[in-house]
Structure 1
Amino acid sequence: MSTLLKIEFTISEEEADEAGVFIAARVPHGWEETPDGDGRRITLYLEDHPLAMEMVKAFEARFPGSGVRWSEQESENWAMAWKDFFNPVNCGGTFTILPPWLENGSENGTTHIVIEPKMAFGTGHHPTTSLCLTTIGELAGRKAIAPGGAFLDLGTGSGILGIGLAKLGLTGIGLDTDPQAVVCARENIEANGVGSAMCTAVGSIDCLDPGLPFDIVVANILSGPLIEMAGDILAHVRPGGCLILSGILADRQKDAVAETYMRLGIGKPAIVVEGEWACLVWDRVGGHRRP
């Protein structure tokens, strides 16, 4: 029977953004952050034990004194492990994210997105995910996006952002370079009843037909790829469409990302910040030029 390695350590609030970048660069799937005194407890699971033990050593070296600890856990108990700390997440007034065991069919004024916690990033707990969903809800509220529109969810992870858009009546595609994430996204898409509205594929922006237009493009990845792919991403935003970028540290990455896109002629973004993370939003993308 296969096992997972549960890894936990505690960091200060001052180290939280650095830890997020450190983990995201090395682990292609999710982790959980929960308050722990004056800091945060990081919890993540890895399947490959040799790789997992290397990660334990890397965390210990990078964050000495963080109390890194690990334990083996049967993989069949993955969902049970999440039950210890998975609480519903409200994203603005539009969406509520919750796991299957808390879904009772009563939406109480919000649109429910049911996510089965697995190995792919995107349970709604991370600020970048909730920032994007809140922004999507606000865009829908002021009719900047509408039913019948087309979306691209770049770096779909668990599929959560695309599912939210599909539940608002849009159709589109979720792309991710991690095959495991795409499998997880497909399961969540079917569980939310939007299988006919959202398709998935393993790949990045370059796997799309050049110039294929979308009314909204959402990319919750990292600042480096957002900068590198700026021209390609913009090529897929329909004139007058919306663009949401996240996975960006507010204090030292948002300006560089914003300036890259502004140089392509789309003007200044609205910037929404939650903690150390930022979301850049253009709600009416005009003409732009290739770099």
Structure 2
Amino acid sequence: MSADAASGETWKLTAHAGKRAVQQALLAHDMIDEWDAELVIAGRELAEDRPEDWVLEGWYPREPGAEQEAALAGLFADNPPEIAVERLPAQDWLTLSQQNVQPIRAGRFHVHTPEFPTDPDAIDFVIPASQAFGTGQHRTTAGCLEMLGEMKARGVVARRIADIGTGTGLLGFAALRLWPLAHATASDIDEVCAGVVAENAALNRIALGPRPGQMAFVVAEGMDHELLRVNARYDLLIANILAGPLVELAPDFARHTAPGASVLLAGLLAGEQETAVRRAYRRTGFHLVARIQRGDWAILWLRKRRGR
């Protein structure tokens, strides 16, 4: 382990470019099979009043070298932007992120960090800023919360729930609040999420375990875990991850969901990514029920055809 990794520091790589260039870079990333898993990337607009100005950001657990900078720059087809590199001490970064995270209201849900009060008129969650994705701030997470409320309002019954790529556990928690007697299983590829989910479950009085009304957590890639397979077939499956993995997982999701099951997909950009995802799920027996777009991000509610 390097000194940087031992101290808990993170390094950030930043590339500023136009909206289309960053979106194309994200598409290119989805097509790379041998990407360094330690180099985590995300794209976003700089501000709501500057919709064409975007930034591609990468995070690395130690000081990045020329290889990591070249990987990020290589995602841009033409005229790659300059890559800025900075060190983010873990303690300072967490403090800063806590200060910048404002409460959100997403449909029936209110999500906030511990510094803010609860909302007695909403389904309330306390989610500290952390290393895991899914605090509710990103438009895909907030859109998923809205869509879960819509599913409940439209009569969806969920007895077996899976949240694939759970991050903080928030979407799995939200599903359990709406369907409190369900069996719920959450997973993430990142081992750090085990501690994050356990902490957040305690903060929000979510019981962890295998029984109805509880949520079991496993570290797994996709559906590659015995518990995920044993607990199938799911009638609600949530996956707020990335477009590339969503396409790859379509056959697995079809095998592990019940006829008539609802699948909630997010983490994909409207346009080419959404088209690819919808095509993959149509081929495996799903049809579109509803769609939300938040900024450039699409949130899809699909239903599995009966008899599949």
Cα displacement (A) at 1:115: 1.8
- CA distance in 1 between counterparts of 2:254 and 2:100 reads 38
- For the Cα contact (< 8 Å) 2:10–2:60, is it kept in 1? yes
Task: Tell me whether 1:123 sits opposite 2:140 in the alignment.
Answer: no
Counterpart of 1:150? 160
- CA distance in 1 between counterparts of 2:277 and 2:131 reads 28
Counterpart of 2:169? 159
Q: Report the 3-state secondary structure (helix = DSSP H, G, I; strand = E; otherwise coil) of the residue aligned with 2:132.
A: coil
Deviation sequence 1:83-113 (CA, Å, 0-9, x none): 342122222x2112222222x2x31422122
- For the Cα contact (< 8 Å) 2:160–2:231, is it kept in 1? no
Task: Tell me whether 1:206 sits opposite 2:224 in the alignment.
Answer: yes
**Please, which of 47, 53, 60 is the counterpart of residue 61 of structure 2?**
47
- CA distance in 1 between counterparts of 2:200 and 2:304 reads 30
- For the Cα contact (< 8 Å) 2:287–2:303, is it kept in 1? no
- CA distance in 2 between counterparts of 1:212 and 1:107 reads 34
Letter in 1 for 2:254: L
- CA distance in 1 between counterparts of 2:194 and 2:294 reads 27
Counterpart of 1:81? 96
Deviation sequence 1:117-139 (CA, Å, 0-9, x none): 22222222222222211111111
Q: Report the 3-state secondary structure (helix = DSSP H, G, I; strand = E; otherwise coil) of the residue aligned with 2:224.
A: helix
Moved more, 234-243 or 27-36: 27-36
**Please, which of 164, 182, 185 is the counterpart of residue 173 of structure 1?**
185
- For the Cα contact (< 8 Å) 1:29–1:119, is it kept in 2? no
What TM-score comes out, normalization by structure 2 length? 0.77
- For the Cα contact (< 8 Å) 1:265–1:287, is it kept in 2? no
- CA distance in 2 between counterparts of 1:233 and 1:180 reads 24
- For the Cα contact (< 8 Å) 2:22–2:43, is it kept in 1? no
Letter in 1 for 2:147: T
Counterpart of 1:264? 284
Q: Report the 3-state secondary structure (helix = DSSP H, G, I; strand = E; otherwise coil) of the residue aligned with 2:194.
A: helix
Task: Tell me whether 1:94 sits opposite 2:112 in the alignment.
Answer: no
**Please, which of 4, 8, 11 is the counterpart of residue 17 of structure 2?**
11
Letter in 1 for 2:167: G
- For the Cα contact (< 8 Å) 1:31–1:121, is it kept in 2? no
Cα displacement (A) at 1:43: 5.8
Task: Tell me whether 1:273 sits opposite 2:284 in the alignment.
Answer: no
Moved more, 153-162 or 28-37: 28-37
- For the Cα contact (< 8 Å) 2:167–2:197, is it kept in 1? yes
Counterpart of 2:84? 69
- CA distance in 1 between counterparts of 2:244 and 2:284 reads 17
Counterpart of 2:274? 254
- CA distance in 2 between counterparts of 1:55 and 1:67 reads 13
Cα 1:261–1:43 shift into 2, 3 Å: closer
- For the Cα contact (< 8 Å) 1:266–1:286, is it kept in 2? no
User: Unaligned 5+ residue runs, structure 1?
Assistant: none
- CA distance in 2 between counterparts of 1:245 and 1:9 reads 27
Letter in 1 for 2:104: V
- CA distance in 2 between counterparts of 1:23 and 1:76 reads 29
Moved more, 54-63 or 261-270: 54-63
Q: Report the 3-state secondary structure (helix = DSSP H, G, I; strand = E; otherwise coil) of the residue aligned with 1:156.
A: coil
Cα displacement (A) at 1:80: 0.5
- For the Cα contact (< 8 Å) 1:3–1:47, is it kept in 2? yes
- For the Cα contact (< 8 Å) 1:150–1:216, is it kept in 2? yes
What TM-score comes out, normalization by structure 1 length? 0.81
Counterpart of 2:199? 187
- CA distance in 2 between counterparts of 1:273 and 1:45 reads 26
- CA distance in 2 between counterparts of 1:280 and 1:2 reads 36
Cα 1:214–1:184 shift into 2, 3 Å: same
